[in-house]
Chain A
Amino acid sequence: MTLLIEFFDVLLHGLDLIALGLAMGGGVVALAVLRPWQPLTIMGRVALQRSAYLITVGGGGLVATQLLRLAFQFWISLDGLRDWPMAQFLATDFAQAGIVRIMAALGLTAVSWFWLSRRPASLPGWVGLALLAGGVMIAGAWLVHGASRIDNRVPLMAITVVHQWAAVIWVGGILHLLALWRLLWGNLEASYLWPRWMARFSPVALGSVILLIVAGVYLALNYVGSWQGLIGTGYGTMVLTKVVLLLLALFLAARNFSQVRRWRKQRQATGVLEKLPPFLGAEAWVLSIVLLSAAALTSLPPAVDTPDQQASFTEVADRFMPRVPRLVPPSREEYSAAASSVFDIYALPVAVERAQSEFNHNFSGAVVLLMALLAFVDRSRFFPWARHWPLLFLGLAVFLFLFAASTVWPLGAESFWQTLQVPVVLQHRLLTVLVIAVGLFEWRVRTGKLTHPRAVLFFPLLCIVGGGLLLTHSHTVFALKSEFLIEVNHATLGILAVVMGVGRWLELRLDSAEGHWAGWVWRISFILAGLLLLFYSETPVPDGDKH
């Protein structure tokens, strides 16, 4: 039960960061972009009201996630204890900080709902909201990893809050701007207001990025500590993954920045109106994945704390070397006799389980590579039959359903329903559903059966979702080094999946030559993902780790 509760705690932490983004980003957009103290147009007033609504949603979300996190933490601490340790629980720093955070978030929600949504031009209201948001952020310092460190505790708590603050302002600001773009779409004032709003947001975003990076470097120095820690641990890999995704977001942001600069110099709003919103949407998705990865990162032990579990550069490089794929599974009898129950979280995989895992990955890689090549051929338009490539996703889903947890029904003896409480099994079941959804949606899009502008975005969105899944994928609860050597492949696959999603998103949203190159980007990422899976191999468990 602990695993499942911790699993939901990570889930709630991710939601908490997004809700924080909506609440904080809204305040910043209101004060720095919409400027309630200046004479407002009708649309400016409506935009402030929209921001207030979104802040209410974010504030409400914060209250709910924080309450649930506290409840889960209390529940998990009950397990095995005879009494209800309520007094001890309330005496802990994190419980007190959580309660303060709930109070501040409640205040923030009340101010935005009862005050600002009715009087959106009230400057005292916005200042009050900013103060309450500051309270939420400061109380959060006792909930971050730095709060439990033995050394350097206070600086780590403070810098983590600054890092979070910069991130949520950037992400939340973009979410609000996208909502405001919806408001302006088709409106005559769009060409007047939108470039101005974007020009006002640019320095805020730039400042947030600088703060985010400076604070991030400080945290990396303290928690990662060395190059080997960065390259050779799960924590380091997640930090690197965040850096790569951040670079992708910055690339998208730079495109937006250049459009705004062009508008400033030439007062030509075309680029800001036509190109900027699709890039902004892609940036929002990438940054949301970064936030979710950050939530998962907090559950990994820092690299500096696992100096004897770090892989060398050669070991990591070996994970990406081509090798003969395993396309035949081990015998079922041998597997059934040796495989551990999915409930046994402390079991290390034996040889036949590793062989099964290699077969699962390599066979999936062959299917993915075939789909990717067909997607390439499909682009030539000389082979119309190639457009049916998404149907192969359905075959992949059947394969996943059967083999992803082969000790479970229908191939194994363990119950389908009972094993859903094991996070890794639940994860694979949901992945199977996602794969079916991706296949069906994209096939209908390719064959012209689905033309709704939002429905066609399902494939890129689910690529991003799948990428997020892989970025936070983990196999065992200990044997950190061997766990990491598996994770490093999944992290790379996750990044490729996010790049695929962004590429396809932009291909669909941009009609110009930029959409054309985005089409190549996602197809190349698709092929690389197939190759990575095809050459995937399990790491042998070191002698010291064998039971």
Chain B
Amino acid sequence: MVSLIGEFAFKVWVLLVLEAVMTAAWGHAVIVESSPADQEVLAQVPEAIVLRFNVSIEKSFAQASLWGTKDRLKKLSIPESNFALEADPARLYIPLPSLAPGPYQVRYKILATDGHTTEGVIRFIISVPQ
């Protein structure tokens, strides 16, 4: 019995090591549509960023923030309109503040309804007016 427990413990250890070295692409949910699109160069400042995912999400747990090239500029709020009954369960509408020309990132974190969290980023550039 002792040797059986020892062997079982060894197998569990091997499996634990195997699992401990596992990693996955942290992209269970992906954006299927966004406005502005990733890498888009915009002539005008958008009033909001709209993200549509491939899965329905728990919007109470959605988080988004606006970044410059290196630093976080602002935490973005998720307005009530996202929670309306008729709202698309996979879509987030996030208003943006007024922005000066330059490169920006909107980093988001969402929780899918199956419990998986996903982080991601949309990058865009506001071009200098000609």
Q: List the interface of chain A (C-beta within 8 A of B).
A: 2-3, 5-7, 9-11, 14-15, 18, 69, 73, 76-77, 79-81, 85, 88-89, 92-95, 98, 142-150, 179, 182, 234, 288-289, 292, 295-296, 298-302, 305-306, 346, 423-424, 426-427, 430-431, 434, 454, 461-462, 464-465, 468-469, 472-474, 476-478, 480, 483, 544-545, 547
Number of interchain pairs (Cβ within 8 Å): 179
Of B7, B90, B120, which contacts A454 at CB under 8 A? Answer: B7
**B58, B115, B117, B121: most-surrounded residue (chain A CB, <10 A):** B115
In Å, the complex CA distance between A474 and B56 comes to 25
Judge whether B24 and A296 touch: CB under 8 Å: yes
Judge whether A15 and B24 touch: CB under 8 Å: no
Judge whether A73 and B117 touch: CB under 8 Å: yes
In Å, the complex CA distance between A465 and B19 comes to 9
Judge whether B109 and A80 touch: CB under 8 Å: yes
List chain A residues, Cβ under 8 A from B89.
150
Q: List the interface of chain B (C-beta within 8 A of A).
A: 4, 7, 10, 14-30, 32, 39, 54-58, 60-61, 63, 65, 75, 89-90, 105, 109, 111-117, 119-121, 123
7 A-B pairs with C-beta separation under 8 A: A11-B22, A89-B61, A234-B25, A298-B28, A299-B24, A301-B54, A545-B39
List chain B residues, Cβ under 8 A from A9.
116-117
Judge whether A85 and B60 touch: CB under 8 Å: yes
Nearest 6 pairs of A and B residues by beta carbon: A94-B115, A299-B24, A305-B54, A148-B55, A301-B30, A148-B114
List chain A residues, Cβ under 8 A from B14.
461-462, 465
Judge whether A179 and B4 touch: CB under 8 Å: yes
List chain A residues, Cβ under 8 A from B61.
77, 81, 85, 88-89
In Å, the complex CA distance between A427 and B112 comes to 26
Judge whether A148 and B75 touch: CB under 8 Å: no
List chain A residues, Cβ under 8 A from B20.
11, 426, 430
Judge whether B116 and A299 touch: CB under 8 Å: yes
Judge whether A7 and B30 touch: CB under 8 Å: no
Closest to A454 in B: B7
Judge whether A292 and B19 touch: CB under 8 Å: yes
Decide: A149 near B55, CB < 8 A? Known: A81-B63, A94-B114, A300-B27.
yes
Decide: A92 near B28, CB < 8 A? Known: A430-B17, A465-B14, A468-B22.
no
Of A6, A80, A473, which contacts B26 at CB under 8 A? Answer: A6
How many Å from the CB of B18 to the closest CB on chain A? 4
Main secondary structure of the interface of A (DSSP, over half): helix
In Å, the complex CA distance between A145 and B121 comes to 22
List chain B residues, Cβ under 8 A from A288.
15
Closest to B111 in A: A77
Decide: A3 near B26, CB < 8 A? Known: A92-B115, A430-B20, A434-B21.
yes
Decide: A10 near B23, CB < 8 A? Known: A92-B113, A301-B54, A465-B18.
yes
Judge whether A76 and B22 touch: CB under 8 Å: no
In Å, the complex CA distance between A279 and B56 comes to 44
List chain B residues, Cβ under 8 A from A14.
15, 19, 22
Known: A179-B4, A300-B27. 8 other contacts (CB 8 A): A69-B115, A77-B61, A94-B114, A148-B114, A427-B21, A472-B22, A473-B23, A477-B120
Of B24, B112, B114, B120, which contacts A10 at CB under 8 A? Answer: B24
How many Å from the CB of B11 to the closest CB on chain A? 8
In Å, the complex CA distance between A89 and B111 comes to 11
Closest to A182 in B: B4
How many Å from the CB of A298 to the closest CB on chain B? 7
How many Å from the CB of B126 to the closest CB on chain A? 16
In Å, the complex CA distance between A462 and B14 comes to 8
List chain B residues, Cβ under 8 A from A2.
26, 109, 117, 119
How many Å from the CB of A160 to the closest CB on chain B? 10
List chain A residues, Cβ under 8 A from B24.
6-7, 10, 296, 299-300, 472, 474
**A3, A81, A472, A476: most-surrounded residue (chain B CB, <10 A):** A472
How many Å from the CB of A146 to the closest CB on chain B? 8
Closest to A3 in B: B26
How many Å from the CB of B34 to the closest CB on chain A? 13
